Every structure is written in structure tokens, then in C-alpha cells.
Structure 1
């Protein structure tokens, strides 16, 4: 019963025994409680420290227990003092942490462009920016299927953001709809309160935190090369506008990017493939842009040529433009 006030079971048992039998010696208490005499002596020391045992007025060498009502008040006052001390330490810690964060924010304000050359630095910065994000986190994830390890590493941060009420707008490429790992993660994200959409092509990998900072890769073709943090108001506004424009054209997760409602027999991914090949990209380059395999891109093009009745890619492009598919 007294455990909530900081007294363990053995100490309480010794205390209550002395309340009932104040004249018992160590050996009698140990036999009654079926514990060792050493345990009883240790309990007597702790009870004395807690002021539940006091020397008798008539003989200071003999300890007497205070009454249970007085003992509870003593323990409660001690507990309240512990809580006040802990609150004071917490307040001091919070003040120190706030001072550190303010100093970092002031330093960051003077550096609107900062390179993070290692993956570890990028991960640390992602965590730091995520913990200070309060309103919205917007991101692009090009490259098709996302690595399973990367998805699992993102889950704790994403869960924390959503639990704090941060709005999340995530855009993947349409090709992730063929990857079970990424699909499962997107499903979890939407069920947890985030919003997910897909687009045929994404301009660059990007994570945008509120209207304060953005992380972009140093080399879009090699994410292992590190990232760059931007914090200038003009750059952030431009990136926010870019994300909004892509988001509005993207397809919500849960709605398949199948044939569009206009009656055209063409998906957004197929439209982008025609545009990319028409712009002079190779099959490999177009596949990379779409986040799909080269064989998949070639199968898509063969299907488009068959549907158009074209005998060459050049003719397919001309017929697609005539139908308005590339408008």
C-alpha cells in the first residue's frame, strides 16, 4: 500500500510489524516475516532515513515507529518534495534545450544553403527538421519502388509527425503501384492520416518542412552523394509552388491511374512515355524518368503502337499528337 509513497514491500512489512509489536527485536521480526536478519536491519536503516522510526524519548538506543497516520503524512511530504525537485530539474533542462535550439536556429538563419555530404548527416538533419516541423511536410519520392530499409527507417518519424497533427503530403511515382513494399507503406501512411498521391514523373527528390527548410539531393542521379538544405524564403516559396502544382495533377492513392475520365485510352504514365521519347530520350533514359524497368517501357511503347496502328515510333508520335494525346 505504501509503495506509491516510495516504501518497498519488505520495509513496509517491518514497519507494520513494529506498529503491532513495538517491543520485538530483530530476530523476532525476521522469524515472523520469514526473512533474514540482515534484511530486517537494512529495512530498519531505510525506515529511520524515511523518519518512520525514531529514537524513544526514554531510551535513545531503542527505535519506535511513528503512527501510521503521521507516517503517511511524512511520506507524502517527502514525495511532494521529490516531485518539486524533479519539476525544477525538468524546467532547467527545457530552458537549456530551448537556448540550444534558438542558437542553432539563429545560426541556420544565416546559412540559406548548406551541404550535407554524408548519408548520416542527411539522416540527422531529417530527424532534426522533422521534430521542429509543426504544420506541413511535403515530399517528392521519384525513382519508383522505394527501398524497404528506407521505408522502415522513415516509419517512426512519420508516425511521430502524424501524431503531432502535422499534415503530410507525399507524392510517389505511378510505378510504385506495382511494388508491394511501397504500396503497404503508402497504405499505412494514408490509414494513419497522411495523404498520398502518385504522378507519372517527378522533378526531383525533395522534402519540404513547413515554409522554413527544404532538403534536395546534391546529385539527383546519386542520392548517396548527400543533400543540400535550403532555407531562403524565395527558394522555399518556389519549391512550395512546384510541389503544389505537381500535387494538384497527381492521382490520389487508392484511385488507380487508369484511363482518364475524358475517354482517352491513355494513362498519365503512357502520356509521359510518349513525351519523353518524343523529346529524344532513349528507352533507358525514359524508363529512368518514369521509375520503371527498360523492358516495361518497351512493352508500354509496343502496346501504344499497336493501339495507334503505328508501324514506327515516329508514326506513333505523330498519330498520338493528332489524337490530342500529347496536348
Structure 2
């Protein structure tokens, strides 16, 4: 009867399926030669010879004392047990190497953290370091991720990096809330990404201006830019409980003032949108049109058009007069 040809766990001991089939057949028929073993296993003569060479290398065949010029199969209690002991020793050695590598990684990571650490936080130098740390933090998030986003359109590479992380977090039940500038609605790609996030369970609100870029993880850590005007230059990871609590309060205050994504931007009792009120405050503070455009995330042309409309509604011949009239009417 031919031996069944199949893969088994003996392959983990370095034995191929052909070698195992021949070994099993040789154990049953110690007097069978190459041709007979080929018939027993359904292998070709060439395949049997290759299997016999393999078994000899594994010390599972020895010269036969009964049949001259032939080999006998070594008892599995001896041959296979020896192979198993060798595999176990190799596994133990590999495990020791892995544990040594784990300890080395921990030491390198600790040294890396200490080189960037300051009292209550860590400094992250450059965009790569920031993104790498944000990936670590997001994967370790337990229940909540909050963010303030003062930018307008999101860069494509930033969306490509954030999308899988956000999706994985939402699938784990992480609550994501984000505040963005209203001007992001002017970019089709960013708008589509926002819809994608909201459809998957994120919450998003918009306000005319966002004071600073910020991410808060589990109300335990906050990431802020080192330079407000250049968030790509570096960031600070803050873990001081008092500071994080204050930053969380700032987020909640801005969140409450925001308009939920998907709703039409409301007008107040004076007929003004939040963006128009924000523009009046910016101009009243003495900022230029260019500065107002940067803060609102809109074009200079849009700022001038909005300001002209506001001046007309306020019966003002100048921006200064517009500010005075807006104050008298209680718009500011």
C-alpha cells in the first residue's frame, strides 16, 4: 500500500514532505530498496534518492547490519527526539536573542526620550519626529482624541498618513472630535475627507479662527507646535496635568462655540455670520487685510469683499467708522 503524501508538523524539524513519506515507509519496510520505496510512497525513484540523502543528513538513516549496501531507518524515539531537542535548543537561543533585542530597543527608546525631555514634556524636532510620535500616541489612545486645526486645506500626504490611523482608532471605539476653520469648506479634497471622517463616527465643528494647532490624547498628553507660525518646525508633547487640563478647557470652550459639520453656518440676531463678526474684531484690533486673510484662511479678495459688504450694512465710509458703528450696535 502506498504511503499518504502530506505536509505535517515534522517540517518544523527541517524535514520535507518527501523525506517524511520515505522515512515512514522505511520504518515499516526495513528491507525495501529505492524502487520499492518509490512504489510505497508514490514518488519517483529520483525523488526517493533525494529524500534518502536528506534523511541521511538528518541522521535518520544508518548503514544496515542485515542488508549489505542498504540503509536502515533510525527509530523515531531516537532520531526524531534528537531532531526535536536540536529544534528546541535553537528556539531557546532565538528566544534569548529576541529578549536581548527587546531590552536593547527599550534602552535605545529610553535614551531617545531622555534626550528630548524637559520637565513635564518632550520636544519633537521636525515634521518626521512629530508624525512618528503622533502615530505612536494615536495607536495607544484609549478613549479620546481631540484636535484644533487652524490650517485650511489639508496636505494630501498628511491625509494619507492620518486616514488609516483615524479609521483604526474609530474601529476601536475611540471618540474623535475636531475643530477646524470654516474656510476649510472651500477646499474640495479637504471637505471630502471631513465627510469621510464624519461618516465613520468622528465629530467635527467649525469656527472662523482657531488660535493654535493642538492635539489632546486621553486628556493626559497634548501636542503643540513650538512655533505657532510654523507648526512643521517642531512640537512639544506636554504631560503636565495642570497644563493639559487648561488646554482641554480651551478646546471645550472653542468646541461649544463651533458649528457642527454638515449644518448651514448660522447668522445671529444682527444677521451676521461668525466669520463676519470675527473679521470685524480683527479689523478693529488694527490688523491689515492680509493678516485678516491669514487668520480666517481665506483669500485677500474675499476679505475685501466681506469688509465692503459689512461697511455698507453699517453705513460706514471707512473701516474705522465701521468699527465704531459695529460697537454702537452691539456687534462687537
User: TM class by shorter-chain length?
Assistant: 0.7 to 0.9
Which one of 134, 139, 159 corresponds to residue 151 of structure 1? 159
Equivalent residues in 2 for 1:85-234, closer than 5 Å:
96=103, 111-234=119-242
Which one of 5, 9, 30 corresponds to residue 5 of structure 1? 9
Structure 2 unaligned residues grouped into runs of 5+: none
Change (3 A) 1:321 1:63: farther
Change (3 A) 1:28 1:114: same
Q: SS at 1:168's partner residue?
A: strand
Q: Does the 8 Å contact 1:143/1:289 carry over to 2?
A: no
Equivalent residues in 2 for 1:40-51, closer than 5 Å:
40-44=48-52
Larger relative contact order (Cα-Cα within 8 Å, sequence gap ≥ 6): 1
Instruction: Kindly state the Cα deviation for residue 25 of structure 1 after the two structures are TM-superposed.
Output: 3.8
Instruction: Kindly state the Cα deviation for residue 145 of structure 1 after the two structures are TM-superposed.
Output: 1.3
Q: SS at 1:160's partner residue?
A: helix
Q: SS at 1:325's partner residue?
A: coil
CA offsets, 1:239-275, max 9 Å, x none?
111111111111122223x233x55422211111111
Instruction: Kindly state the Cα deviation for residue 237 of structure 1 after the two structures are TM-superposed.
Output: 1.0
Change (3 A) 1:163 1:92: farther
Alignment size in residue pairs: 315
Instruction: Kindly state the Cα deviation for residue 35 of structure 1 after the two structures are TM-superposed.
Output: 5.0
Q: Does the 8 Å contact 1:54/1:66 carry over to 2?
A: no
Instruction: Kindly state the Cα deviation for residue 52 of structure 1 after the two structures are TM-superposed.
Output: 9.6
Which one of 289, 293, 300 corresponds to residue 299 of structure 2? 293
Which one of 253, 275, 286 corresponds to residue 281 of structure 2? 275
Q: SS at 1:129's partner residue?
A: helix
- Taking the aligned partners of 1:20 and 1:196, their CA distance within structure 2 comes to 72
CA offsets, 1:145-169, max 9 Å, x none?
1211112122233233323332221
Instruction: Kindly state the Cα deviation for residue 285 of structure 1 after the two structures are TM-superposed.
Output: 0.6
Which one of 244, 248, 253 corresponds to residue 240 of structure 1? 248
TM-score, with structure 2 as normaliser: 0.74
TM-score, with structure 1 as normaliser: 0.75
Instruction: Kindly state the Cα deviation for residue 297 of structure 1 after the two structures are TM-superposed.
Output: 1.4
Q: SS at 1:116's partner residue?
A: strand
Flag the structure with larger Rg.
Answer: 2
Instruction: Kindly state the Cα deviation for residue 65 of structure 1 after the two structures are TM-superposed.
Output: 10
- RMSD, aligned α-carbons: 4.2
Structure 1 unaligned residues grouped into runs of 5+: none
Q: SS at 1:223's partner residue?
A: coil
- Taking the aligned partners of 2:287 and 2:146, their CA distance within structure 1 comes to 29
Change (3 A) 1:34 1:241: same
Q: Does the 8 Å contact 2:238/2:244 carry over to 1?
A: yes
Q: Which moved more, 1:277-286 or 1:5-14?
A: 5-14
Change (3 A) 1:235 1:254: same
Change (3 A) 1:247 1:34: same
Q: Does the 8 Å contact 1:201/1:272 carry over to 2?
A: yes
Change (3 A) 1:218 1:103: closer
